[in-house]
Amino acid sequence: MAEHVPVLLERVLELFAPALSGRPAVLVDATVGLGGHSDALLSAHPQLRLIALDRDPNALERAGERLARHGDRVELVHAVYDRIGDVLAERGLSTVDGVLFDLGVSSMQLDLAERGFAYARDAPLDMRMDPTTGPTAADVLNTYEPAELVRILREYGEERFAQRIVKAIVAQRQREPFDRSEGLVRLLYDAVPAASRRTGGHPAKRTFQALRIEVNGELDVLRAAIPAALAALAPGGRIVVESYQSLEDRIVKQAFAELAKSRTPQGLPVELPGHGPELKLLTRGAEKADEAEIERNPRAASVRLRAAERIQEAA
């Protein structure tokens, strides 16, 4: 398995330092994965307590091994990240000092062929981040109505050949149900026009992304998780989100922007109490990795990082 390299690690450490340094603090890593960011944060802040969430039991096990040296400062929780509020309430916490999201499919999930995330290797069409629950990608392909499949490919994969692809999927599943990635990749290669294959990247990339998002409810989960995380931040607390595709980044951008603006009616000479901005944006737009990091870690090529600080409690 390839070595796990946390994306934009130094920048993540820099952004969290003012909220975590020199005192007891609590940070939620909402997508702990293999624990690279968390390990570095715990090492940098000896008084930090970490609550680490992941929906993937395999990831939690691996993260637990990596973070074991930090002892009882670490608590691992098997949960989807939209349950942040519940997880904190169960532990008697009303606020935390930091929340980190590193979204998308993890390097471990991509490296394990049997999980079915990677189109480059034949595997069962699973794609569940939590393999203990819910429908698989094969279930989606074999049972969804054609119109719903078209919507998923267009919305989640931004696939302009969705209609052609779904027509081929429906014809194929009537002959034999989908069960492995190799057959789907072959179908996509044939369905996407040759001109697009030459210029638009691998023809399976967008469909695999769309299926993964649908199987895991990723965008719906994120729409609930970001407001819950922002609500949990103490004044001075910080949130850092790493997204890897435009649909995720748009959700984060809109949630941050909403709380970073004043709600005082225009024209009034002073800010009304309880109507001021609740967040200060710490990044100008979305930050990207530089060429040197992308060369060391190709996964960093698509990252979009946004960060914000809570500057007052919600009214």
Is 247 inside any structural domain? yes
What's the pLDDT at 83? 96
- Known binding residue 56? Answer is no
User: Do 123 and 166 sit in the same domain of this protein?
Assistant: yes
Q: Does any domain span residue 248?
A: yes
- Read off the pLDDT of each residue in 93-99 and give the average, rounded to a whole number: 97
Q: Tell me: is residue 144 an annotated ligand-binding position.
A: no
pLDDT: is 123 or 269 the higher one? 123
Residues in a beta bridge with 124: 180
pLDDT tier at 226, thresholds 50, 70, 90: very high
Please, are residues 8 and 303 in contact by the beta-carbon 8 Å criterion? yes
Residue 1 falls within a domain, yes or no? no
Residue 171 inside a domain? The answer is yes
Q: Which of 216, 241, 275 is the last residue of a domain?
A: 216
Pairing assessment for the beta strands 74-78 and 48-54 based on DSSP bridges: parallel
54 and 174 housed in the same domain: no
Chain mean position to CA 15: 18
Question: Is the Cα torsion angle 51, 24, 98, 69 positive or negative in sign?
Answer: negative
Q: Which of 191, 216, 241 is the last residue of a domain?
A: 216
Domain total for the chain? 2
Residue 122 known to bind ligand: no
Instruction: Give 177-196 pLDDT, tens digit per residue.
Output: 999 999 999 999 999 887 66
Residues forming beta bridges with residue 76, ordered by sequence position: 52
Do residue 103 and residue 240 come from a single domain?
yes
Residue 33 per-residue DSSP state: T
Position 4 in a domain? no
Residue 295's CB is within 10 A of a number of other CB atoms, namely 11
Q: Which two tokens stand for residue 213?
A: 């998002």
* 2 part of a folded domain: no
- Residue 315's pLDDT is 46
- pLDDT tens for each residue of 1-60: 345 689 999 999 999 999 999 999 999 999 999 999 999 999 999 999 999 999 999 889
The confidence score (pLDDT) of residue 116 equals 52
Tell whether 87 and 153 lie within a shared domain: no
CATH number at residue 151: 1.10.150.170
SS (H, E, C) 259-304: HHCCCCCCCCCCCCCCCCCCEEECCCCCECCCHHHHHHCHHHHHCE
Report the percent of the chain where pLDDT is more than 90. Answer: 77
Q: Assess whether 92 and 50 both reside in one domain.
A: yes
Top mean pLDDT of 31-45, 127-141, 264-278 is at 31-45
Any residues with CB less than 8 A from the CB of 243 and at least 6 apart, and which?
A: 103, 104, 249, 252, 286, 303, 304, 305, 306
State yes or no: 36 annotated in a binding site: yes
| Residue 174 shares a structural domain with residue 233 | no
Element (H, E) at 226: helix 218-232
Q: Residue 42 sits in a domain of what CATH number? A: 3.40.50.150
For residue 281, being part of any structural domain is answered with yes
- Is 54 known to sit in a ligand binding site? yes
Q: Is 35 annotated as ligand-binding?
A: yes
Q: Which DSSP string do the residues of 134-149 spell out, in sequence order?
A: S--HHHHHHHS-HHHH
Query: Is residue 315 in some structural domain?
Result: no
Q: Are strands 304-310 and 233-243 parallel, antiparallel or unpaired?
A: antiparallel
pLDDT score at 80? 94
Provide the domain limits for residue 101: 9-108+218-310
Please give the order of strands across the beta sheet that includes 74-78.
74-78, 48-54, 25-29, 96-102, 233-243, 304-310, 279-281
245 and 263 co-located in one domain: yes
The residue that leads in pLDDT, 13 or 315, is: 13
Does residue 17 contact residue 77 with C-beta atoms inside 8 Å?
A: no
Residue with tokens 């929780």: 77
Average pLDDT over residues 214-219: 94
One DSSP character per residue, 52-121 reads: EEES-HHHHHHHHHHHGGGGGGEEEEE--GGGHHHHHHHTT-S-EEEEEEE-S--HHHHH-GGG---TTS
User: Among residues 195, 216, 237, which one ends one of the domains?
Assistant: 216
Cα–Cα dist 50/72, whole Å: 9
Phi-psi region of 85 (alpha: psi -120 to 50; beta: other; left: phi over 0): alpha
pLDDT of residue 183: 94
Question: Residues 273, 150: one domain?
Answer: no
Asked whether residue 244 falls in the same domain as residue 197, the answer is no
What's the mean pLDDT in 144-159? Answer: 96
Q: Is 72 annotated as a binding residue?
A: no
Mean pLDDT of 221-229: 97
Q: 16 and 154: one domain?
A: no
Q: What is the mean pLDDT of the chain?
A: 90
Residue with more model confidence, 47 or 315: 47
- Token readout for 310 is 């809570």
Of 5-9, 75-79, 269-273, which one has max mean pLDDT?
Answer: 75-79
Q: How many residues does the chain have?
A: 315
- Are 200 and 226 members of one domain? no
Give the amino acid at 265.
P
85 and 161 housed in the same domain: no
